[in-house]
Chains A and B, each alone.
Chain A
Amino acid sequence: DGGITQSPKYLFRKEGQNVTLSCEQNLNHDAMYWYRQDPGQGLRLIYYSQIVNDFQKGDIAEGYSVSREKKESFPLTVTSAQKNPTAFYLCASSISLGGNQPQHFGDGTRLSIL
């Protein structure tokens, strides 16, 4: 079955540490996205990518970085510059970039601070 796989499901970060969240899709989608979800806040866009080797900042990119070296993969690094990283992180993909395209979501990674 095609889908989006996020790993790990739970992740803990120490002070001053960078951590990387994995996102892999086998839907052959061109566009991929990272969102942050906080209680009562809905989803906020961190980064998105239209195609391999191209990505754009979303609304809350500070303290995060991404890469898109393969079509299937869009890892997110939460750097030590992100002072409040505790949240639920969701990766999504769509056939192409565009607001009229439905997005398919992974099951998320919950990041907490030790």
Chain B
Amino acid sequence: GDSVTQMEGPVTLSEEAFLTINCTYTATGYPSLFWYVQYPGEGLQLLLKATKADDKGSNKGFEATYRKETTSFHLEKGSVQVSDSAVYFCALGEGEKLVFGKGTKLTVNP
């Protein structure tokens, strides 16, 4: 079945460092791809999405490009802030449902 694999965390960075969180997927068709963010004690919020190959989703300085040839959707940000500390989930949508990765915890230190 469809699946999502994210890089293991936790990830700890200093403020203004470059962020990459890797995400690869396995799917039989052409899924939509999403990144969600979860702040402590809260639900998930949609961060960005891409619906077809070569699409780039972007929001709040975060970007991810749908790469069909490598089945990847890596999340990047050029300069992280302390307020970006959260858990990030990659997800794919195909058919009726979303399938989520296990999440990557990011901590940004001042």
Q: In the bound complex, what is the Cα–Cα distance between A56 and B31 (angstroms)?
A: 21
Give the number of chain B interface residues (Cβ < 8 Å): 24
List the A side residues contacting B97 at CB < 8 Å.
45, 48, 58, 99
Tell me, rounded to whole Å, the shortest Cβ–Cβ distance linking A4 to chain B. Answer: 8
Report the interface size class on chain A: 20 to 34
A103 at the interface (CB under 8 A from B): yes
B100–A43 CB distance below 8 A:
yes
B45–A105 CB distance below 8 A:
yes
Q: Out of B32, B42, B44, B103, which one reaches A100, CB within 8 Å?
A: B32
Closest residue to B48 on the A side, CB-wise? A102
Q: In the bound complex, what is the Cα–Cα distance between A22 and B109 (angstroms)?
A: 37
Q: Which of A94-108 contact B (CB under 8 A)?
A: 97-108
Interface mask (A79-111 → B, CB under 8 Å = 1, otherwise 0): 000000000001010000111111111111000
Q: In the bound complex, what is the Cα–Cα distance between A41 and B100 (angstroms)?
A: 9
Name the prevailing secondary structure of the B interface residues.
strand
Interface mask (A50-93 → B, CB under 8 Å = 1, otherwise 0): 10000010100000000000000000000000000000001010
A48–B96 CB distance below 8 A:
yes
Chain B residues packing against A (C-beta within 8 Å): 31-32, 34, 36, 41-46, 49, 51, 89, 92-98, 100-103
**Apart from A103-B44, A105-B43, what 15 extra A-B contacts exist at CB < 8 Å?**
A40-B102, A41-B102, A42-B103, A43-B44, A43-B100, A48-B97, A92-B44, A97-B96, A99-B95, A99-B98, A100-B32, A101-B93, A103-B46, A104-B46, A108-B41
Chain A residues packing against B (C-beta within 8 Å): 4, 6, 40-43, 45, 48, 50, 56, 58, 90, 92, 97-108
